[in-house]
Amino acid sequence: MKRAWPEELKSIFDDAEEVMLDIPASGREGAERASKTQRAALRIRVTQEDYQRMWPLAEKRYRLDGRYAGKVATLIANNPLYYTWHPADGGTLEGTSDSGTPYTIKYIVVYLLLDAVREETAAD
C-alpha cells in the first residue's frame, strides 16, 4: 500500500526548510566501519494543534506531491537514533483578537526524513 500525505495537512510544507541531518555512528556491536551519515530532512514549525493531528502519522512513510513530488516523508517522533531531532518546543505567539481577547499559539518544531521514491506508483 502506498500512503499519501493527508490533504488537510499539506499546508505544513509551505514553509518547510530542507536540511541535512548528521546522524551519529551506530554503536551496535559488529557494525562494520561505523561512521556518521547524512540524511535529507524537512524542518517544520507547526502549531501544537497541527502537531497533534500529525502524531498518528509518526514513523510511517508517506508520499508527497507538489514541490516534493517523488519524495516520501517520515515524521521523526521517538526513534532513539534520531533523538536530537525529536519534536521540540517551537515557541509561542501571543496576541489579541479583533474582539480584544488575548490568545497564545504554541508551536512545535518537527523533522521529517525525506527520501526519494524508488518506484513510480501512484499513492492511494
- pTM > 0.95: yes or no: no
The pLDDT of residue 105 is above 90: yes
pLDDT band at 79 (very low <50, low <70, confident <90, very high): confident
Q: How far apart are CA 33 and CA 62, in angstroms?
A: 31
Tell me the pLDDT of the chain averaged across its residues. 86
Per-residue pLDDT tens over the stretch 80-103: 888 888 989 999 999 999 999 999
Q: How far apart are CA 7 and CA 14, in angstroms?
A: 13
Angle at the Cα of 80 from the Cα atoms of 124 and 27, rounded to 5 degrees: 120
